[in-house]
C-alpha cells in the first residue's frame, strides 16, 4: 500500500505529461509581521530629512513584510514595490520600500520568489498604517508612484493596523 501512495503522489507532482505543473496565473501574496495595534517608534538614529522623510534601512527590524510572487508567463524585467497604506484606501500611502525594492530579469513561466521587505522610506510621521499593498510590476522608468494596471504583473493588498511615530 505505501508504494501505491508514493507512486500516486509522484504522478500528481509531475502531471500527466511527465512535466512539472506550471502556474496558470501571476500572483502575489503577502504577510505583514508587524502585529495589529502595535505602535512602532522610529528611533532618532534614523533622521527625518526634508524632502523625503525618514529611511528605515533594510534589516532595521521595525517593519517586515514577506512577499511570495509567481509569474505564469515570460517577463523581461520585474520590480517589487510595497506601499504602507493609510486612510483606509489602496491609493493613499505614507511609506514605500525604496531602500529594499528588488528587481529581477528574464522571468520564465513558472518563476517563483519570496522576498522579505524590511527597508522602507516613510514620508510622513506619525502615520496610521491601515494596509499594505505589494505590486510586482514591469515598469522600468524610475517613477516612484504605483504602477498602472498595464505595468502591473500581479498585486495584493492586505489589511494592517499599526502606527509609525517618532
Which positions ≥6 away from 128 have C-beta within 8 Å? 86, 163
Say which CATH class 22-165 falls into: mainly beta
Q: What pLDDT score does 19 carry?
A: 57
Query: What stretch of H or E contains 116?
Result: strand 111-117
* The C-alpha cell that represents 118 in the structure block: 524590511
Quick one: pLDDT band at residue 12, thresholds 50, 70, 90? very low
The pLDDT tens digits of the residues spanning 29-65 come to 999 988 788 999 999 999 998 888 999 999 999 999 9
Quick one: pLDDT band at residue 13, thresholds 50, 70, 90? very low
CB contact at 8 A, 118 and 74: no
Share above pLDDT 70 across residues of the chain, in percent, rounded to a whole number: 87
In the predicted model, is pLDDT for residue 129 greater than 90?
Answer: yes
In the predicted model, is pLDDT for residue 7 greater than 80?
Answer: no
Q: What pLDDT score does 6 carry?
A: 37
Amino acid at each position: 500500500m505505501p508504494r501505491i501512495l508514493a507512486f500516486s503522489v509522484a504522478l500528481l507532482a509531475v502531471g500527466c505529461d511527465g512535466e512539472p505543473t506550471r502556474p496558470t496565473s501571476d500572483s502575489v501574496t503577502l504577510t505583514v509581521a508587524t502585529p495589529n495595534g502595535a505602535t512602532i517608534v522610529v528611533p532618532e538614529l534614523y533622521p527625518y530629512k526634508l524632502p523625503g522623510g525618514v529611511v528605515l534601512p533594510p534589516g532595521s527590524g521595525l517593519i517586515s513584510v514577506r512577499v511570495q510572487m509567481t509569474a505564469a508567463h515570460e517577463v523581461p524585467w520585474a520590480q517589487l514595490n510595497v506601499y504602507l497604506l493609510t486612510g483606509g484606501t489602496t491609493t493613499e500611502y505614507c511609506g514605500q520600500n525604496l531602500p529594499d525594492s528588488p528587481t529581477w530579469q528574464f522571468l520564465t513561466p513558472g518563476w517563483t520568489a519570496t522576498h522579505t521587505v524590511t527597508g522602507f522610506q516613510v514620508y510622513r510621521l506619525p502615520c496610521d498604517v491601515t494596509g499594505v499593498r505589494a505590486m510586482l510590476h514591469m515598469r522600468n522608468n524610475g517613477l516612484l508612484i504605483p504602477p498602472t494596471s498595464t505595468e502591473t504583473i500581479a498585486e495584493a493588498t492586505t489589511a494592517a493596523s499599526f502606527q509609525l511615530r517618532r
